[in-house]
Structure 1
């Protein structure tokens, strides 16, 4: 199979199985084509050393650390795909570290940013370590549900089962609401729970237990884990937090035509005026679109 055929299959998988948007697919294609054109070997025969040499080449060319990290993230996803599909018996990108970021990137989490965060979390979860699988489950659940961080870390273990499609959440003021879970988040949670059960740690009533006095993963620790993940994904850590993923959940839903009332219910806002803040982002985007793209505009 040729390199271009492998790349085409990889992009097809991203579109079919992960629902990646065209802009995201084009970004993956650009990054992987650049690797192919500037490495010393093709996808099938590349070694960990070949990948490191390519990263050194990018640094020598003066490329920003964020761009290098982003391209490494794309390479990791490609080789995870090849390994899973039996195209390769190994994954040469497994133990290659991302560069430290020293350049600011956009603070708004785009859909492409979120894709890279989730892809990187999924790739790390292939280590089989319970902690990596936990972070993957946390990330998928955050973006799939838009939960407040306090709601997420205090979810009871019984909240998720084999056939769970809706989870009951207790929000501010003790108000309860039902939130759709989504298949990717459910599968990530089930994989994490299997790993958690196999560790035979002390039983806890929480879905994300901890040895601390609270008995569950803390908000602060989750924030630290997400910032570490951002570095690995090539995204400025200051632009990522649990609350910003909640913002991304709401903004991206509305951008794809979701009803404002439905988003209000999922977020657990008592007043719809609180939810309307997300429409301001979309209104500004539409305004810029008209001003720059309309045939009668000056742009």
Structure 2
């Protein structure tokens, strides 16, 4: 990660280019704050490397330099997925610089990175989900506001397969309690409506009826889920809650909310949902991304076969 002191030592032409690219990502491309930070960090790392090679303006960027930058990181043990992301960032940055006439040619057109490892995502078994939800329901039975909130959040994450940032950004008006649907603002500011089931609906109803008012304050606004101080819940708190719930299971190494998203997608496919439906629910722009879960389902079938069949 690039620190502020390193960033401050960039020559002015390079620093201005990085700042302009950051504004472009946020204002014109509508990227999330998290994505913008990641891209800016990658660009800063590239430009700091360029400075070590004596480069002070964008004209000094060339394909050999870009390849040396990736090569050094590969030699240091950086993962293929990170290298692929950094190569993609470099290509986006130089393409933007060309459009802005900061470069005469695009040096990254032929830049390649190692193919990413497509590791299958971790998923919970349906029995684990049942135990997890039962534990949350028991904790919420006493009426504690935080317990009611945590139960509703985890139920909704699994029921809808939404991302943690989408959950944190949800307002009360986004919930159609009669039809049991949730309006979600996803990546690229794309809106979608996803259904959820009766257990999640019951948990959300209890949170709204008995829990939310106990945490609400002057800064609550219309946020569906609230933190301890009454403001909109932040993603870190959601991750902490989910991590604690997973740890209580005792038989999984899962740690984050994305496991609930993976599990929801896999269980939908296991239950017979078609790929296009799952794509719409998850908000994937490409069907290829959703297809990863078909491999997860096949692997689960193979595992069950190997464990159960006498001649496996």
Normalised by the length of structure 1, the TM-score is 0.58
TM-superposition CA deviations, 1:128-174 (whole Å, max 9, x none): 11100000000110111000110011101212254242111111111
1:177 counterpart SS class:
strand
1:239 counterpart SS class:
coil
Q: Which one of the candidate residues 154, 161, 170 is aligned to 1:155?
A: 170
Counterpart in the other structure of 1:129? 144
- Counterpart Cα distance in 2 of 1:200 and 1:170: 23
Counterpart in the other structure of 1:8? none
Unmatched 5+ stretches in structure 1: 1-106
Counterpart in the other structure of 1:187? 202
Counterpart in the other structure of 1:242? 257
What is the root-mean-square deviation of aligned Cα atoms in Å?
2.4
Structure-to-structure mapping, 1:99-138, within 5 angstroms: 108-138=123-153
Q: Which one of the candidate residues 196, 216, 224 is aligned to 1:207?
A: 224
Counterpart in the other structure of 1:227? 243
Larger-gyration structure (1/2): 2
Unmatched 5+ stretches in structure 2: 1-121
- More moved, 238-247 vs 119-128: 238-247
Counterpart in the other structure of 1:280? 295
Counterpart in the other structure of 1:216? 232
1:112/1:212 Cα in 2 relative to 1: closer, same or farther (>3 Å)?
A: same
1:243/1:294 Cα in 2 relative to 1: closer, same or farther (>3 Å)?
A: same
Q: Is 2:280 the partner of 1:265?
A: yes
Q: Which one of the candidate residues 191, 211, 231 is aligned to 1:176?
A: 191
Q: Paired residues, what number?
A: 189
TM-superposition CA deviations, 1:222-278 (whole Å, max 9, x none): 111122223333344x41321000000000111111111100000000000000001
Task: Check conservation: 1:109, 1:240, Cα contact below 8 A.
Answer: no
Task: Check conservation: 1:151, 1:170, Cα contact below 8 A.
Answer: yes
1:220/1:261 Cα in 2 relative to 1: closer, same or farther (>3 Å)?
A: same
Normalised by the length of structure 2, the TM-score is 0.55
Task: Check conservation: 2:123, 2:260, Cα contact below 8 A.
Answer: no
TM-superposition CA deviations, 1:163-208 (whole Å, max 9, x none): 2421111111111111002121111111101221255533422111
1:276 counterpart SS class:
helix
Structure-to-structure mapping, 1:48-127, within 5 angstroms: 108-127=123-142
1:291/1:138 Cα in 2 relative to 1: closer, same or farther (>3 Å)?
A: closer
Task: Check conservation: 1:161, 1:190, Cα contact below 8 A.
Answer: no
